[in-house]
Amino acid sequence: MAAKKAKGWRSGRREGRSRMVQMTRHLVVSEGKETEPRYFEGVRAALGAANGRKVAIVVKGTGKHTLDLLDFAVEHCRYAPETFDHVWLVFDKDDFPAADFDAMERKCAELSDGSRTFHALWSNPCFELWPLLHLRYTSAPMSAAECQRALSQAMSKGLGVDYRKNIDGLFDLVDENRAEAIARAARLDGHHDSLGNVRPSDRNPATRVGDIFEELGPYLG
């Protein structure tokens, strides 16, 4: 009996190592140093202990923009002790050059090699569009300041919360409506397609932030 117990214990350890090998690791790198990192830290926390053994998320807020953000992510992957399966670059259009903003999707595709995939999670005009779409739909072009005001108004009206750039708990506040936000982002894509707007810099408003939930959504419910 003792021998069988020992064999079973060792078998369990082997299975445990196999599950660890199958873990997917995600690096989220954002140009913002406040709102975006706090939102994705909320995503990481929401995974919980059980799913935390299946999906690991590392969040970095850099203050870098567009192509500098990509360079930072590549360097981090090169020297980090862990290997990342997915690298998510979170950045805004704001007032940055359209050529750099538009180049990110192409450069991410060029860097993706089958073992690691780079994703351009751009927002035009800014990240705040993503939580705004949890609360209401809009196709009206806007500046970053206008988008932030729209989010503040929607959160105050719908949630009784005042929005600020460094707000804690943003993911938890809006995530109940994630499915609606994903559907509204897709609706915006259709809107821009109908107008012939192909380049990300021309698609105001629009966002790709919801793409990350194609990978993480099954673990979040």
Give per-residue pLDDT as tens, 20-46. Answer: 447 899 999 999 889 999 999 999 999
Q: Is the pLDDT of residue 131 over 80?
A: yes
Report, in angstroms and rounded to the nearest whole number, the Rg of the chain calculated over CA atoms: 20
Which residues, other chains included, contact 96 with Cβ-Cβ below 8 Å and sequence gap of 6+? 65, 66
> Counting Cβ atoms within 10 Å, is residue 103 exposed (0-12), middle (13-18) or buried (19+)?
middle
Q: Name the pLDDT band for 4 (thresholds 50, 70, 90).
A: very low
Residue 9 has pLDDT above 80, yes or no: no
- Contact 120/105 with Cβ under 8 angstroms? yes
pLDDT digits (tens, 9 = 90+) for 175-219: 999 999 999 999 999 999 999 999 999 999 999 999 999 999 999
CA distance 156 to 172: 15
Mean pLDDT, rounded, for 99-125:
95
Cα 134 from chain centre: 15
Q: What is the mean pLDDT of the chain?
A: 88
Strands 117-124 and 55-61: unpaired
Sheet containing 206-207: order of strands: 55-61, 24-30, 86-92, 117-124, 206-207
Give the CB-side neighbour count of residue 40, counting CA atoms within 13 A.
27
Confidence at residue 5, expressed as pLDDT on a 0 to 100 scale: 36
> Among 62-66, 123-127, 134-138, which stretch is predicted with the lowest mean pLDDT?
62-66
Instruction: Quote helix, strand, coil % in the chain, to nearest 5.
Output: 60, 15, 25
